[in-house]
Amino acid sequence: MTKLRKQRKRKTYNHNVNRKRLRNKIYKQGNIGCKEVKVEWDNKKSMKTNLQEMGLAYDPNKSIKIPQTKKTLKKLLMNNQNSDDEEGPVVSKAHVVEALEEDAKAPREKKFRLPKGHVEWITYLVEKYGDDYKAMERDKKNYNQETWKQIRQKIRRFAQIPEQYDEFVKRTKMEIKINDNVSDDEI
């Protein structure tokens, strides 16, 4: 019985929905995020043609084929070196691939930051206990019941983020000592 009610409800006209906007939203092709590809994109051509002209792969399974052992063995046995080796399609917009490769090889700035809550908790622990990780483990604010090793790792990671760590040093005039060569038994 519920099936019929759901089907009947689906057929009722919804006055709150703008059908034209909904259709445009469904058929919209989307935005191209990469500026090199966006500049060279031709809206009159298909996606496959556009990508092939730029030297990019439309279907990675066809562009990078998995070698089949049977075929390679046949070639070796027949010693047929003059087999028809397929050359890739003619790339008229090769500069797009070069620009993408250059961008991929460029060094990146690390943008990793700890959340504000983690920073507050870590600074609280360091201000109160210094480098006594066992006491930090027993602290009442250790809600997640992290071990002393986990806390030590978070403090080390915090000390490696210059923006957040420098602000802590300016505020407290206290530096965190990071001893990487200290074994776990010594602490």
Distance CA 74, CA 71 (A): 5
Residue of higher predicted confidence among 55 and 90: 55
Strands (E), the chain: none
**Region for residue 65 given its phi and psi (left: phi exceeds 0; alpha: psi -120 to 50; beta: otherwise):** beta
**Is the pTM value of this prediction over 0.75?**
no
**145, part of any domain:** yes
Question: How far from the centroid of its chain's Cα atoms is residue 144's Cα?
Answer: 27
Q: Is residue 110 part of a domain?
A: no
11 lies in a domain?
no
Confidence label for 87 from pLDDT (cuts 50, 70 and 90): low
Whole domain around residue 147: which residue ranges?
116-172
Report DSSP state, residue 56: -
Residues 40, 99 share a domain: yes
Statement to judge: residues 100 and 148 lie in one domain: no
Assign 83 a pLDDT band (cuts: 50, 70, 90). Answer: very low
**37 and 96 both lie in a single domain:** yes
Average pLDDT in the chain:
84
Q: Are residues 100 and 145 in the same domain?
A: no
Q: Would residue 56 count as lying in a domain?
A: yes
Residues of the chain with pLDDT > 70: what percent?
88
